[in-house]
Amino acid sequence: MDKTAASKERKYPTDVSDEEWEFCAPYLTLMREDAPQREHSLRDVFNALRWMIKAGCPWRLMPTNMPPWKIVHEQAQRWIRAGVFEAMAHDLRVILRVVKEQRKGKPTAAIIDSRTVQSTPESGGRAGYDGHKKRKGSKVHIAVDTLGCLLALKVTAANEQERAQVAELAERLQTVTGNHVELVFVDQGYTGDVVAAEAKQHGIRLEVLKHHEAKRGFVLLPRRWVVERSFAWTARFRRLARDYERLAPTFAGLHWLAFVSLFLNTLFP
């Protein structure tokens, strides 16, 4: 039995359904499906990538009933460089908001936060030390809408300050929403007149959510829990538990892929 036939018979929970593939295929097809240099179907390659990010498996240890790891890795890099996963996530978010939640496609409010992810030998060269979390690694800055859907993302060294990323995140927010975002909720790490002024330049008002009493243990803040839940969603993908990637764009791209998978599961249960 040839490799192509064998791959068609496997059924992993991460494999896309026919409905999901019908949506994904136009985004993923960077060249003709029947191009002479293509040895493995795009669907098999995409399924293998989805399995890898969910299982957290090293590239070279991918199962033999999948396309070779090098094929999957190279195609993943092409998709990430082309912004494929980001484009898919934005379109899926609009569909989810309109169809599932009966809301307008473009949000007017968002939440910004970050989390520090432990580095590995692969990512150690670009890692930084987060003195607050007492951890060396990368910092993932995200902006989500009030449903927790990803709007913008940036990966930096862990020693980079949250407030220093507001201007770029605000610009990306307005780009993907057509300048519809008016209000962004943040925590006390984003305080300061300079940060507020940078956000205002993009037509955004920052609202800092503060603890009114001394904090002891976990405290649930209004609106802020939404972005914390979004980070918890990414924890379901073991490849994102630590920063295993040599390049920051790869780590960012895999986050977009994770949200694509989450959105697809919601829209095509």
What secondary structure does DSSP assign to 20-49, as a single string?
HHHHHHHHH-SS-TT-TT--S-HHHHHHHH
pLDDT of residue 188: 87
pLDDT of residue 2: 39
Assigned fold of 105-211+221-241: Nucleotidyltransferase; domain 5 (3.30.420)
Predicted confidence (pLDDT) at residue 18 exceeds the cutoff of 50: yes
Predicted confidence (pLDDT) at residue 90 exceeds the cutoff of 80: yes
Pairing of strands 150-157, 183-186: unpaired
* Domain residue extents for the chain: 3-81, 105-211+221-241
pLDDT of residue 5: 39
Q: List Cα–Cα distances, 116 to 30, 80, 158, 159, 224, in angstroms.
A: 33, 22, 6, 9, 17
pLDDT of residue 214: 46
Predicted confidence (pLDDT) at residue 218 exceeds the cutoff of 90: no
Segment among 23-32, 64-73, 135-144, 210-219 with least mean pLDDT: 210-219
Across the range 8-19, mean pLDDT stands at: 82
CA atoms in the 13 A half-sphere facing the CB of 188? 5
Q: Encode pLDDT of 167-197 as tens digits.
A: 999 999 999 999 999 999 998 889 999 999 9
pLDDT of residue 3: 42
Pairing of strands 183-186, 205-208: parallel
In whole angstroms, what is the distance from residue 203 CA to residue 125 CA? 36
Average model confidence (pLDDT) across the chain: 90
